[in-house]
Structures are given as structure tokens and as C-alpha cells.
């Protein structure tokens, strides 16, 4: 039996005591990277990160900002009963998809009652004049009831005699974007098994989200998170003000808009070549370009962007659906002599240290720093960047349906997403429309592609000289390019 297995086999109180000793000895690196099974006799508290989402939802209850949604587009007739049976299989494999939240502030818990077969809502658009997109958006923006309500729902939208769309909406408190990779893979296998009338291959994962949540509370009780906060306080000392792009703020109603755009194959090749040349990653090049983009649009010389981390290195967590990920803040500083190559080198050197402290839930970092807050906006960082490599589960899913991300959530002002594709990158800027007008953000999408190409073509030039926005759109930014 390995050390990690022996640790997992200990009782909860003994594990906390051992963790506390490691903290006191300054040996955080010796903490086993394992998720022990929970004590089934004990209640399951929300994880610290889930609790942060619960607080956010209580402050902004009617926005659907924490809804995460995806859709599967079918171009051949489907049997709704087969879809429901497949989703029931997935639901039975993952307790978190049956979770309901109970309790009071300070003692919020998850319960996992039996819910029976998964039932889809049905909507037939034939003869209604309603578009598929409008129906999808309306469904994705319905709020969830965190006070004991179901936290996943699905709707089958019939478009015509052959085409239909399955839309799934989950509250962020029970999922994250890495979980959708698990969901895509399991749904694909379950649907094929049901459709072909054969037994499904996958079985219930040994680790459930409740195990992860309970272990997070053990780490918290032992002081593991507190021991890492000193590093974050130094790294983020005197945090900068929230990011704002002057006249681009329309002040309308809350909403989410996705502005999709394409980065051509030549620019993608240049990104990958620069990453190899500078000993960086493709993610590092794209992330650094996004930071320059934020700097050039806002004019801020000191800024923080967020980036999600999977937080799934422990054995078995790669098969778990639930809010496992963590969002971490990255600090960027600019001056007149800052070059893209220099900024990339700094990020490449600093990022391993950031990741070494990435276990701390971002809410604990915010509480420790107490940064400037603006009502209705995420504290510490407002802009987030994600790079999504190719997902094997999506490739398998495309054999039966075309997946689409419908709604990412709105707890942040702007989320930049770049996905690996067959011919370049597919990208999007997802923004809150009460803060940024979509027509302005469309110009930003063009600006990002222009900037990215300029930065990777001349990485040793000042970032202030990199091409950004055509002159006829200068008035839409606070700082000319």
C-alpha cells in the first residue's frame, strides 16, 4: 500500500491531525495528492469554493450568472426516451447531479435524494416562429433555486421533422468546465448503449464529488489553505483597481453575449513556433497576449487577470463531475519598455510558483486581501482567460451530435476563450452586456486577432507598439493603439 493509500485509509480526524502536523512542520509538499473516501455517516458540507458561489448567488439571485449550459444539435431524428435514459445513466453515476442544498449559512450541506429517471422538458418550434437560438437562450437564462431545488435541467427542442437540440443547464455549484468533458464522454457512451440496446460500458466512479468536498473541509480545518495565503498576500500586495474600459460601458440590463471569432492558421502556427522557441507553452503565449490586450484596452499598467485551473491531479478526479476547478489570479505589470518576449519569460518563470499555491480557493484569497470592490462585479479580477485544447470526448460526441457552449456564466465581466481547432483557433469573448456593448466587443475581437499576430511576429518590440485596433475605432478605447 502506497503512502497516499495509507493516508486515504485513515479516519477523518486522524487525517486532519496528520495534515496539521505537516503544516506546522512547513512540509506542505508532503501532503498526499489523494481524495479519501468520505465517512458516509457524516453530513456533506459544501466545499469552500461552493460556499463562495452560494454567497454570490444570494447577492445576485435573479441574474442566472452562475448557469453553465451546453447543447447537443442532432441532424437526424432522435427518440426522446433514449435521451432521457442516457441522462439517467449519467445521473446515476454522479451523485452531484442529484444534489440539493440544505441548511443555514455557516452550515450549508448537500443531500443526494433519489430523483427517479431524468425527465426532459419538451418544446416543439414547428409553426411557432420562435428560433432555435431564442429558445436556447431563454432556457439557459432561467434561474435555479439553491434552497433545496434541483440543480440540473434539460430541454429537448424540436426544430423540424429531422433536427432537434438537447440543451442542458447546470448551476455552477455542481459543475465546472472540466466536468463537461466528463459529461460529454459519458453521455455519448450512454446514448449509444441505449440506442443500440447494449449494456453501457462505464461504471460509477469510485470517487464522488462529495468525497472531494469533504476532503477540502479537512484541508481547511488543518490550516493547509491558511498556510498558503502568506504567499498570495505578498504576490498580490496592494492589488490594482478593477478593470474598466471607459466609454465602452453601456449600463444596460444584465445579460451575456458571446462574440465568436477565428484566428487563422498562420497566426496559430506562429504562436506555436514562438512557444517552442521561448521554452513556453501555447497557453502561456495566449495568456500573455490576453494580458497585453487587457492592458492596451484599459491603459492600466498594473492589472490582474484570472485563469481557471483544473485542480484534478489526484487519482480519479479526472472522472468526477462537480465544482472542482479553482480560479487563480495572475498579476501583470507594464512599463514603457515592456516587450512581449520579456512578459512571456516572466510569466513562464512565475507560473509554476502560482500553481504551487493554487489549492487555495479564490474566495479565501479575496477575503485575505480585501481588495477594492465594485457592486455587482467580481472582486480581485474581472477578466478571465481560458485555453481549451482538443477534447477527445468532444470528438466522440460529434459522431452523434454537434456540441455547443451556450452560456458560460456572468460572475466575471469578460471571459476570453481560445480553443484548438483544425484550421487555426476558434475563439470567443463572452461579456456582460450591462457592462460592455456587443458591437464594441466585436471590434475588440478583431483587435485581439490583430494584436496576437503582431505580438508573435515581433516579440522583442515594446507591447505599446504592437498593432491593435484600426484608427476608425480608436474612439472606443481609453488608450489609442
13 and 71 inside one domain: no
199 and 293 inside one domain: no
Average of pLDDT values for 49-78?
92
- Is residue 479's pLDDT more than 80? no
238 and 386 inside one domain: yes
Under the banding of pLDDT at 50, 70 and 90, the label for residue 383 is very high
- Is residue 116's pLDDT more than 50? yes
345 and 441 inside one domain: yes
Query: Considering only CA atoms, which of 444, 420, 467 is closest in space to residue 271?
Result: 420
300 and 255 inside one domain: yes
Residue 404 covered by a domain: yes
166 and 256 inside one domain: no
Under the banding of pLDDT at 50, 70 and 90, the label for residue 405 is confident
Residue 221 covered by a domain: no
Residue 195 covered by a domain: yes
Residue 216 covered by a domain: no
Residue 481 covered by a domain: no
Tell me, what's the pLDDT at 106?
86
Most confident of 1-15, 24-38, 363-377: 24-38
> How many domains is the chain built from?
3
Residue 219 covered by a domain: no
Domain that holds residue 407: 229-476
- Reduced DSSP (H G I as helix, E B as strand, rest coil) percent helix, strand, coil of the chain, to 5: 45, 20, 40
Average of pLDDT values for 286-314?
96
* pLDDT tens column, 79-104: 999 999 999 999 999 999 999 999 98
Residue 447 covered by a domain: yes
- Diameter over CA atoms, the chain: 70
Last residue of a domain, one of 209, 238, 256: 209
**Going by C-beta distance under 8 Å and a sequence separation of 6 or more, which residues neighbour residue 243?**
294, 298, 300, 303, 381, 382, 383, 413
Average of pLDDT values for 420-439?
91
137 and 264 inside one domain: no
Last residue of a domain, one of 179, 209, 239: 209
Pairing of the two strands 152-158 and 121-124:
parallel
Is the pTM value of this prediction over 0.75? yes
Query: Considering only CA atoms, which of 314, 312, 295 is closest in space to residue 304?
Result: 295
Whichever domain contains 423, its CATH number is: 3.30.559.30
Enter the DSSP assignment of 241. Answer: P
Whichever domain contains 90, its CATH number is: 3.30.559.10
**Going by C-beta distance under 8 Å and a sequence separation of 6 or more, which residues neighbour residue 45?**
107, 108, 109, 110, 213, 214, 217
With both helix axes pointing from N to C terminus, report the angle between 177-196 and 80-93 in degrees, rounded to the nearest 10.
130
273 and 339 inside one domain: yes
369 and 459 inside one domain: yes
249 and 362 inside one domain: yes
402 and 285 inside one domain: yes
What b-and-e string marks burial along 48-63, b requiring 16 or more CB atoms within 10 Å of the CB? bbbbbbbebbeeeeeb
270 and 413 inside one domain: yes
Residue 39 covered by a domain: no
Last residue of a domain, one of 157, 181, 209: 209
CA–CA separation, 82 vs 266, rounded Å? 43
Amino acid at each position: 500500500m502506497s503512502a497516499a493509500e495509507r493516508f486515504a485509509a485513515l479516519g477523518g480526524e486522524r487525517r486532519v491531525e496528520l495534515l496539521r502536523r505537516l503544516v506546522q512542520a512547513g512540509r506542505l509538499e508532503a501532503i498526499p495528492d489523494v481524495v479519501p473516501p468520505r465517512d458516509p455517516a457524516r453530513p456533506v458540507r459544501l466545499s469552500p469554493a461552493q460556499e463562495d458561489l452560494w454567497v454570490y448567488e444570494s447577492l445576485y439571485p435573479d441574474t442566472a450568472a452562475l448557469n453553465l449550459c451546453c447543447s447537443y444539435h442532432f441532424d437526424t431524428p432522435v427518440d426522446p426516451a433514449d435521451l432521457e435514459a442516457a441522462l439517467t445513466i449519467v445521473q446515476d453515476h454522479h451523485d452531484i447531479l442529484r444534489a440539493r442544498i440544505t441548511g443555514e449559512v455557516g452550515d450549508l450541506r448537500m443531500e443526494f435524494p433519489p430523483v427517479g429517471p431524468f425527465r426532459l422538458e419538451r418544446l416543439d418550434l414547428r409553426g411557432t416562429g420562435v428560433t432555435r437560438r431564442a429558445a436556447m437562450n431563454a432556457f439557459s437564462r432561467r434561474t435555479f433555486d439553491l434552497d433545496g431545488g434541483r440543480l440540473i435541467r434539460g430541454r429537448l427542442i424540436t426544430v423540424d421533422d429531422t433536427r432537434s437540440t438537447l440543451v442542458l443547464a447546470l448551476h455552477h455549484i455542481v459543475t465546472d468546465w472540466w466536468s463537461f468533458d466528463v459529461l460529454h464522454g459519458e453521455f455519448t457512451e450512454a446514448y449509444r448503449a441505449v440506442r443500440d440496446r447494449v449494456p453501457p460500458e462505464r461504471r460509477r466512479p469510485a470517487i464522488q464529488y462529495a468525497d472531494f468536498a469533504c476532503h477540502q473541509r479537512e484541508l481547511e480545518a488543518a490550516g493547509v489553505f491558511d498556510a498558503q495565503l502568506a504567499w498570495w498576500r505578498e504576490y498580490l500586495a496592494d492589488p490594482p483597481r478593477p478593470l474598466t474600459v471607459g466609454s465602452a460601458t453601456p449600463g444596460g440590463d444584465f445579460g451575456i453575449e458571446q462574440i465568436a471569432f477565428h484566428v487563422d492558421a498562420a497566426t496559430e502556427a506562429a504562436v506555436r513556433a514562438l512557444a517552442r522557441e521561448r521554452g513556453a507553452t501555447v497557453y502561456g503565449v495566449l495568456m500573455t497576449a490576453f494580458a497585453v490586450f487587457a492592458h492596451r484596452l484599459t491603459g492600466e499598467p498594473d492589472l490582474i487577470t484570472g485563469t481557471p485551473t483544473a485542480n484534478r491531479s489526484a487519482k480519479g478526479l479526472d472522472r468526477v463531475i462537480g465544482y472542482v476547478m479553482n480560479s487563480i489570479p495572475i498579476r501583470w505589470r507594464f512599463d514603457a519598455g515592456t516587450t512581449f518576449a520579456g512578459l512571456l519569460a516572466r510569466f513562464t518563470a512565475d507560473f509554476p510558483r502560482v500553481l504551487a499555491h493554487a489549492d487555495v480557493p479564490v474566495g479565501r484569497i479575496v477575503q485575505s486581501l480585501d481588495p477594492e470592490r465594485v457592486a455587482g462585479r467580481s472582486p480581485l479580477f474581472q477578466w478571465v482567460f481560458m485555453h481549451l485544447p482538443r477534447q477527445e470526448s468532444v470528438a466522440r460526441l460529434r459522431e452523434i451530435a454537434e456540441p455547443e457552449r451556450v452560456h458560460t456564466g456572468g460572475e466575471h465581466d469578460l471571459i476570453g476563450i481560445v480553443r484548438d481547432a483544425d484550421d487555426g483557433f476558434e475563439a470567443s469573448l463572452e461579456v456582460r452586456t450591462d457592462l460592455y456593448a456587443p458591437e464594441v466587443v466585436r471590434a475588440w475581437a478583431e483587435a485581439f486577432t490583430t494584436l496576437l499576430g503582431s505580438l508573435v511576429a515581433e516579440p522583442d518590440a515594446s507591447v505599446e507598439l504592437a498593432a491593435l485596433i484600426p484608427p476608425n475605432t480608436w474612439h472606443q478605447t481609453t488608450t489609442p493603439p
